[in-house]
């Protein structure tokens, strides 16, 4: 017999040849079952019976699955098999009044109560924070255009306590503090108004180093805490200066460096974080939008910032440099706990000039807006 290959064309002769072939043998077991059940003996006739058996088996499996997945109580009630009873709809009660957020009007500030504070970690890009609130010479009736000289330099150093591998954190802690009085050189004697305001006495500044020496003393503080390199003075970590308002560095430090005839130290150059401004932004987000707050931005003293954040009242003496600095540090710690990203938000111009600034650090007396307070006997500028 000639075999067919895949390339051989199928002809009528091949069709006759296939029909003349005997049917394939039937397995003995299948023939035995067919004979006992009096079923047809050929495989072609068994196909409908096999299909019917498969359908019945599928239906039986489906019923068993539905029965096993039904809850126990469904097997004893009149619920159709496979249909779970729906729970009754919840009963709602209608109140006569619509509840609104509870606001507290205290100290002329509308403040939202926060029973739960979001403690989600926020990625913080700075490793340390230097909180600074200087005290400077002042006269009654003068403003920030006066040639103020720094007479107290207080700093609180904050570091992260829980920063993870990707830089997220929300817990700051105080790791060190620095405080030194500073002897003024242009007007060495303090006015009674200045002493009454700051609590700094004349003996405090008479025995203190001038600002030119203070910058080196404080540099040792930065080196000891691993913030700057001992040789070059370059920063070793990213740290940010924090002040209550822009005046401490933008005005007082720039003026003092001019009067002391020194450049602004590079470890304090750059933008700063205005904490008062940051709290003002936070207040805008957490205040009833229908009521405009009466105190915002630069009109938020430290006492009101503490109140807005739900902190304890001011600790210490107001306008005392170290006490002001410690309370501002409390505010920074609380902002971090609430998930606020801490970073500079106020630019500083180290080349800023006032009309009373002459050449080579000379103060032009005729441009000073207020007559200088007479110097005490024996006091002489350096």
For residue 354, give the CATH number of its domain. Answer: 3.30.420.10
199, 114: one domain: yes
Spatial distance between the Cα atoms of 152 and 136, rounded to a whole number of angstroms: 7
Write the CB contacts of 130 (distance below 8 Å, at least 6 apart in sequence): 155, 156, 157, 158, 227, 239, 240, 241, 242
Task: Specify burial of residue 109 (Cβ count, 10 A radius: 0-12, 13-18, 19+).
Answer: middle
Rounded mean pLDDT, 118-144: 89
Both tokens assigned to 204: 């405090």
Residue 367 binned pLDDT confidence (cut-offs 50, 70, 90): confident
- Closest to 215 in 3D by CA, of 247, 173, 171, 178: 178
Backbone angles phi, psi at 379, to 5 degrees: -85, 135
Q: What is the pLDDT of residue 112?
A: 42
pLDDT tens sequence across 24-55: 555 554 444 444 445 555 666 777 777 888 88
115, 30: one domain: no
Three-state secondary-structure class, residue 329? helix
By DSSP bridging, strand 150-160 and strand 172-181 are antiparallel
Do 151 and 296 share a domain, yes or no? yes
Q: Is the pLDDT of residue 235 over 80?
A: yes
Residues 121 and 235 in one domain: yes
User: What is the residue range of 215's domain?
Assistant: 109-367
pLDDT, mean of residues 61-75: 60
| Segment holding 153, helix H or strand E | strand 150-160
Q: Which two tokens stand for residue 53?
A: 């058996």
Q: Would residue 259 count as lying in a domain?
A: yes
Structure token digits, residue 219: 């540099």
Residue 157 host element (H or E): strand 150-160
Does residue 208 share a domain with residue 162? yes
Which comes out higher in pLDDT, residue 108 or 70? 70
Domains contained in the chain, number: 2
Q: Is residue 282 part of a domain?
A: yes
Residue with tokens 């500044």: 205
Looking at the structure, do residues 36 and 124 belong to the same domain, yes or no?
Answer: no
Through-space distance between the first and last CA atoms of the chain, rounded to whole angstroms: 128
For residue 293, the model assigns a pLDDT of: 54
Q: Is 359 within the bounds of a domain?
A: yes
Query: Do residues 57 and 141 both lie within one domain?
Result: no
> Is 303 within 8 Å of 108 (Cβ atoms)?
no
pLDDT for the residue numbered 27 = 52
Residues 120 and 224 in one domain: yes
Q: If we measure between CA atoms, which residue out of 309, 289, 279 comes closest to residue 100?
A: 289
Q: How many CA within 13 A on the CB side of residue 106?
A: 14
Q: Would you state the pLDDT for residue 66? A: 67
- Report yes or no on 93 lying in a domain: no
Q: What angle do CA 181, 131, 228 make, to 5 degrees?
A: 85
Looking at the structure, tell me whether residues 222 and 176 fall in a common domain: yes
The average pLDDT across 270-297 equals 80
Residue 100 counted as domain residue: no
Instruction: Report, as an integer, the average pLDDT of 322-342.
Output: 97
Domain boundary (11, 46, 72) is at 72
User: CB–CB of 338/118 below 8 Å?
Assistant: yes
Contacts of 354 (CB under 8 A, 6+ apart): 145, 147, 255, 367
In sequence order, what are the residues at sequence separation of 6 or more whose Cβ sits closer than 8 angstroms to the Cβ of residue 350?
254, 257, 263, 264, 269
And the tokens for 301?
């003293």
**Is 62 in the same domain as 184?**
no
Question: In angstroms, what CA-CA distances link 279 with 64, 69, 272, 282, 376?
Answer: 66, 58, 15, 5, 42
Cα–Cα dist 74/78, whole Å: 8
pTM score above 0.85: no
Residues 68 and 157 in one domain: no
Within-domain flag for 277: yes
Condensed to tens digits (0 to 9), the pLDDT of residues 132-179 reads: 999 999 999 888 899 999 999 999 999 999 999 999 999 999 999 999
Phi, psi (degrees; rounded to nearest 5) at 78: -95, 15
CB of 373 within 8 A of CB of 189?
yes
252 lies in some domain? yes
Which residues sit opposite 132 in a β-bridge? Answer: 155
Average pLDDT over residues 247-276: 96
Structural domain contains residue 5: no
Q: Distance (Å, rounded) from C-alpha 23 to C-alpha 42?
A: 9
Same domain, 52 and 141: no
């Amino acid at each position: 017999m000639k075999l067919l290959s895949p390339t051989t064309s199928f002809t009528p002769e091949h069709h006759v040849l296939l029909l003349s072939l005997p049917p394939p043998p039937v397995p003995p077991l299948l023939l035995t079952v067919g004979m006992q059940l009096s079923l047809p003996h050929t495989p072609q006739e068994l196909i409908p019976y096999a299909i019917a058996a498969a359908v019945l088996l599928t239906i039986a499996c489906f019923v068993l699955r539905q029965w096993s997945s039904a809850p126990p109580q469904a097997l004893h009630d009149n619920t159709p098999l496979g249909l779970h009873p729906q729970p009754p709809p919840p009963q709602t009660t209608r109140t006569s009044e619509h509840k609104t957020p509870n606001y507290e009007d205290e100290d002329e500030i509308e403040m939202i109560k926060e029973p739960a504070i979001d403690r989600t970690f926020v990625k913080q890009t700075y490793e340390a924070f230097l909180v600074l609130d200087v005290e400077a010479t002042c006269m009654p009736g003068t403003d920030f255009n006066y040639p103020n000289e720094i007479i107290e330099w207080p700093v609180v150093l904050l570091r992260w306590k829980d920063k993870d591998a990707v830089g997220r954190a929300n817990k700051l802690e105080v790791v060190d503090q620095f405080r030194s009085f500073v002897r003024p050189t242009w007007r060495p004697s303090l006015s009674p108004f200045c002493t009454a305001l700051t609590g700094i006495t004349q003996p405090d500044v008479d025995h203190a180093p001038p600002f030119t020496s203070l910058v080196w003393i404080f540099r040792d503080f930065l080196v000891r805490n691993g913030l700057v390199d001992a040789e070059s003075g370059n920063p070793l970590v990213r740290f940010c200066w924090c002040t209550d308002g822009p005046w401490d560095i933008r005005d007082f430090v720039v003026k003092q460096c001019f009067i002391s005839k020194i450049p602004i130290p590079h470890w304090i150059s750059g933008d700063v974080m205005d904490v008062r401004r940051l709290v003002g932004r936070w207040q805008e987000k957490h205040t009833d939008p229908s009521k405009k707050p009466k105190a915002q931005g630069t009109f938020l003293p430290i006492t009101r910032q503490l109140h807005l954040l739900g902190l304890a009242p001011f600790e210490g003496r107001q306008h005392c440099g170290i006490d002001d600095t410690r309370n501002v540090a409390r505010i920074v710690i609380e902002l971090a706990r609430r998930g606020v990203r801490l970073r500079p938000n106020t630019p500083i111009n180290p080349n800023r000039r006032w009309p009373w600034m002459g050449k080579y650090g000379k103060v032009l007396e005729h441009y000073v807006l207020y007559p200088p307070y007479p110097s005490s006997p024996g006091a002489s500028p350096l």
